Structure formats: C-alpha cells, structure tokens
C-alpha cells in the first residue's frame, strides 16, 4: 500500500523533539501531499549561528507521481528533488530557535514527468490528446516571516 510510508513518516514527525543547544532536525509533513508542485519526502536541519540567527537547510526527493501526471509513458521517467537553504533572524530573545522569525531563502527544484492535454477542434466532435514529457528546473528566492513553536 502506497500510504503506509506516508503514515509512518507522519508518526515520526510528531514524535521528534530537539535540544536548544544543538542542531534541530525537522521533517516537512506537508511536502508529502504537495500535488501542486510534486510530493516529496523532505527533511531539514536548522543550526543556530548565534542567539538570534540560524541557518536552515532542507532537501527532499519525489516519492510518487502527482495527480497532474495523468499518463504513464516511456518518454521520460518520473523523478525529482528539491533543495532549500534559508537564513532566519528570530525577532524575540526568548526561546530561539522558537518564536517569530524573518528570513530569506534560496531554492532549487528539479522535476521530470509526463502529462497530457485534451482538446477538441472547433470543426470536430472528437477529443484529441497530446502526451508529452516535462523537464522543469526552478531557481528562486523568498523573503518570509514565520513562527515556530515547541510541541
């Protein structure tokens, strides 16, 4: 069953805790169901640089096809990965790396899959379908504001 690994990872993500002194290991549970981009098993490590600044790195690998991948063809195999590096500044003194923060991140996404488009010509009633391969590489950056809490 394909959902078994997802359920197991969700249980581990809830049970994770870390000390304030060392690096914090994190698991991104929402990435497991991200069908807008593609679903990944994604984890990261946050390291405190000083009392207010931290560096967070995250990596993920595609583990299944997304819902938009409607066809299975021999054009290209379905695979992908995501990388992200982020600098965070915690806005309050207490409990860093927990609480409100502002940050900046750089990311890279690499995705290969196949998809299809169905269309009808105005003069015909028969639907036509084009199946094609997609190779996508995305580089980007974000400014962000967030909150992190200790469970």
Residue range 62-117, pLDDT digits in tens: 988 777 676 666 667 788 999 999 999 988 766 667 889 999 999 999 988 877 77
pTM for the model stands at 0.72
Question: What pLDDT score does 103 carry?
Answer: 94
Q: How confident is the model at residue 13 (pLDDT cuts 50, 70, 90)?
A: very low
Alpha-carbon distance 142 to 43, whole Å? Answer: 19
Question: What pLDDT score does 18 carry?
Answer: 45
Which residues, other chains included, contact 113 with Cβ-Cβ below 8 Å and sequence gap of 6+? 38, 65, 66, 69, 76, 78, 79, 80, 133, 134
Which residues, other chains included, contact 68 with Cβ-Cβ below 8 Å and sequence gap of 6+? 35, 115
């Amino acid at each position: 069953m394909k959902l078994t690994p997802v359920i197991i990872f969700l249980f581990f993500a809830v049970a994770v805790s870390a000390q304030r002194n060392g690096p914090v290991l994190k698991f991104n549970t929402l990435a497991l169901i991200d069908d807008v981009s593609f679903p990944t098993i994604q984890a990261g490590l946050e390291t405190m640089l000083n009392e207010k600044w931290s560096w967070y790195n995250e990596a993920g690998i595609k583990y299944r096809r997304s819902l938009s991948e409607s066809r299975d063809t021999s054009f290209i195999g379905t695979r992908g990965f995501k990388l992200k590096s982020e600098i965070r500044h915690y806005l309050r003194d207490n409990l860093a790396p927990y609480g409100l923060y502002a940050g900046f991140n750089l990311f890279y996404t690499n995705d290969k899959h196949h998809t299809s488009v169905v269309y009808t010509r105005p003069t015909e009633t028969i639907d036509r379908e084009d199946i094609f391969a997609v190779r996508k590489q995305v580089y980007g950056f974000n400014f962000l504001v967030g909150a992190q809490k200790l469970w």
